[in-house]
């Protein structure tokens, strides 16, 4: 039975694929919580094994579509493996991507989000997770699409992270007052172990940029690896969309879990 109907996804996504993965919440505490930030209460989706404590923490950075069902399902996937997974809605100050009618409207929302605010939002999320049964000494972060970009930036902001896993996060783009840096700009400052997961057929992230990112990380002996899946498009892990590529997605998920264990986040 499909527990989550298409209406739980962002409006701009369009038709939802019937192959979408549905992770049950049996045995989990999974719900929306509210986190105090510098500028108000931020919604977040938290999932963890029911009644458990001292859990490894996985921070999840959402796509451009906001805190919709795909991101909540990913949180439950991690929780079912013994993690405290938490995904904050870091667009809460500037708009609601879930109800935006199309991608241009979502882009308008994203451009209003200040990177520095988002960094502080994840600091607050980590504090909340630590007070909710998480072990802050075993914290990692992962993110998808725009959240992949945020994962790179937060790895630079918080060097105490044990691991960071950005999925097809853009590496370069237009610089603005709200978004003055991109991963390529901060590559040489990253000390956190990183596993980057990218599609070889992603027109929004040219392979030349991926190679440049690799080179800049290599120049400073950063503990980072970037995997590129030949032929995979952007959002190849998004099982609710046509972009989903099961083989690449399964391998990347396997690598993610192996990487987290290797970095002591398990």
Q: Cα 102 to the chain's mean position, in Å?
A: 21
Instruction: Give pTM, 2 decimals.
Output: 0.96
Q: Are 210 and 171 in contact (CB under 8 A)?
A: yes
Q: Give the pLDDT band (50/70/90) at residue 88.
A: very high
Least confident of 3-7, 41-45, 101-105, 141-145: 3-7
Sorted by where each begins, the domain ranges of the chain are 27-262
Q: What is the pLDDT of residue 226?
A: 98
**Interval 161-190 mean pLDDT:** 98
**Over 80: is that where the pLDDT of 76 sits?**
yes
More reliable by pLDDT, 6 or 129: 129
In the numeric block, the tokens 């929004």 are attached to: 204
Q: What is the pLDDT of residue 5?
A: 46
Least confident of 5-9, 36-40, 69-73, 258-262: 5-9
Active site residues: 145, 202, 234
Q: What is the pLDDT of residue 3?
A: 41
Q: What is the pLDDT of residue 7?
A: 67
Superfamily of domain 27-262 in the CATH hierarchy = Alpha/Beta hydrolase fold, catalytic domain (3.40.50.1820)
Q: What percent of the chain has pLDDT over 70?
A: 97
Q: Give the pLDDT band (50/70/90) at residue 200.
A: very high
**Interval 78-106 mean pLDDT:** 97
Strands (E), 172-216: 194-199
Q: Give the pLDDT band (50/70/90) at residue 4.
A: very low
Nearest to 52 by CA among 72, 89, 33, 78: 78
């Amino acid at each position: 039975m499909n527990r989550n109907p298409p209406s739980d996804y962002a409006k701009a996504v369009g038709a939802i694929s019937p192959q979408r993965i549905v992770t049950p919440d049996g045995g989990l505490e999974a719900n929306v919580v509210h986190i105090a930030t510098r500028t108000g209460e931020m919604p977040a989706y938290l999932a963890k094994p029911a009644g458990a404590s001292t859990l490894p923490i996985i921070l999840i950075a959402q796509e451009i579509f906001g805190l919709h069902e795909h991101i909540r399902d990913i949180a439950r996937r991690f929780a079912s493996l013994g993690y405290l997974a938490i995904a904050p809605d870091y667009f809460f100050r500037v708009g609601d991507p879930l109800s935006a009618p199309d991608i241009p409207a979502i882009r308008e929302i994203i451009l209003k989000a200040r990177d520095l605010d988002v960094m502080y939002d994840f600091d607050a999320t980590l504090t909340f997770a630590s007070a909710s049964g998480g072990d802050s000494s075993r914290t990692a972060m992962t993110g998808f699409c725009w959240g992949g970009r945020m994962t790179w930036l937060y790895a630079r902001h918080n060097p105490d992270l044990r691991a960071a896993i950005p999925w097809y996060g853009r590496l370069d783009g237009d610089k603005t007052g709200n978004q003055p840096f991109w991963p390529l700009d901060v590559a040489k400052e990253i000390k956190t172990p990183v596993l980057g997961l990218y599609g070889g057929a992603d027109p929004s992230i040219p392979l030349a940029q991926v190679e440049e990112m690799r080179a800049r990380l290599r120049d400073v002996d950063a503990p980072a690896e970037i995997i590129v899946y030949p032929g995979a498009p952007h959002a190849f892990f998004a099982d609710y969309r046509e972009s989903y590529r099961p083989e690449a997605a399964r391998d990347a998920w396997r690598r993610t879990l192996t990487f987290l264990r290797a970095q002591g986040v398990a």
